[in-house]
Amino acid sequence: MAQVDWPQIVRSVFSQETAFAVSVAILVVGVAVSYVVWRWVHSLLGRVGIPDSVEGTPFERTAQSFGTSTVGIIAQLAALFVYITMAIIALQLAQLLDVQFFWSRLTGYLPRLFIAALAIIVGLIGGDKAKLVVSDRLRSVKLPEAELIPELVKYSVFYIAALVALSQVGVATRALLILLAAYAFGLVLLSGLAFKDLLAAAAAGVYLLLSEPYSIGDEVQIGDHRGIVQEVDIFVTHVESDAEEYIIPNQRVLRNGIVRVRQ
């Protein structure tokens, strides 16, 4: 690693005292740089509009109760990351600690730790945000069962965030990954089964809407239903006779064929 090499070069060029002075200087510069990073991340996230978008999520509220905010935590993490990196470089220069191997492992490990922390923060906020969005969409559905779906979405996002964080830290996540795959597969399979009819109706509906073999006001017979077409949308066709209004799924329209009645 280049990082391990260049302290050696500095030490061979300068004397022991100079190397120590340089490492102290690096420490000071590290403080300055990490402060600049903190300010920069803070203003960048603020400008992107992160504070508005995370407002009201439980994570933000917890952060607020500790006297900081999501943006503050992320900025501090970034600054801490920069500062620790600088400190390690300084320590290596000064040869205060001789356990080179340990430190080089740590420097390799540090970015991953940072990413893991970031993944957890993003996961916590994203999960809560996704829950809010989904429950907002389902607000018109006043069923107790429907409240399960936003929770499910939230914990799914948490699970994936935890998976990313754990794999970054280097914990064996294969079992969890297999669980995720099974979950995703189940989800796709079940929704495929559930939406089978809707998909078929929509495919037929696209054809009916584009080519308009019959239009509103025509008298038609579809199967045993005869009447005037009142409405064609992507899933169903409304056919109305004097007494009844038939709502026919579009795939049935195509399968049965259409008889246009002419007086």
Partner 1 sequence: MTELGALLDDVVDDVDAVFLFSPSGSEYERFAEADVDVVVVAPDNDHDADQFVELPLEFTDVVGRVRFGLEGAHQQELVEDGDEIVCVTQVFAEEMDTVIRVRAREFAHTGVYDLFVNSRAEPSVIRDVFEVAIELGKKGQKGKPVGALFVVGDAGKVMNKSRPLSYNPFEKSHVHVGDPIVNVMLKEFSRLDGAFVISDSGKIVSAYRYLEPSAEGVDIPKGLGARHMAAGAITRDTNSVAIVLSESDGMVRAFKAGELILELDPEEY
Secondary structure string (H, E, C) spanning 102-136: HHHHHHHHHHHHHHHHHHHHHHHHHHHHHHHHHHH
Q: What residue type is assigned to position 232 of the chain?
A: V
Q: Which is nearer to partner 1, 127 or 227 (CB)?
A: 227
- CB of 228 vs partner 1, minimal distance in Å: 4
Binding site for partner 1 (CB under 8 A): 209-210, 212, 215-217, 219, 228-231, 233, 240
Which CB, 197 or 212, lies closer to partner 1? 212
Judged by beta carbon, residue 130 or residue 228, the one nearer partner 1 is: 228
**52 vs 242, which CB is nearer to partner 1?**
242
Distance between start and end Cα atoms, the chain: 88
Structure tokens at 168: 């970054």
Task: State which residue, 130 or 218, has the beta carbon closest to partner 1.
Answer: 218
Comparing CB distances to partner 1, the nearer of 17 and 244 is: 244
Task: Report the nearest approach of partner 1 to the CB of residue 237 (Å).
Answer: 11
Beta carbon of residue 54, minimum distance to partner 1 (angstroms, whole number): 23
Closest distance between partner 1 and the C-beta of residue 219, in Å?
Answer: 8
Task: Write down the least CB distance from residue 244 to partner 1, Å.
Answer: 13
Sign for the pseudo-dihedral over CA of 222, 225, 228, 232 = negative
Q: Least separation, in Å, of the C-beta of 234 and partner 1?
A: 10
> What minimum distance in Å lies between the beta carbon of 191 and partner 1?
26
Which of 156, 230 has the CB closer to partner 1?
A: 230
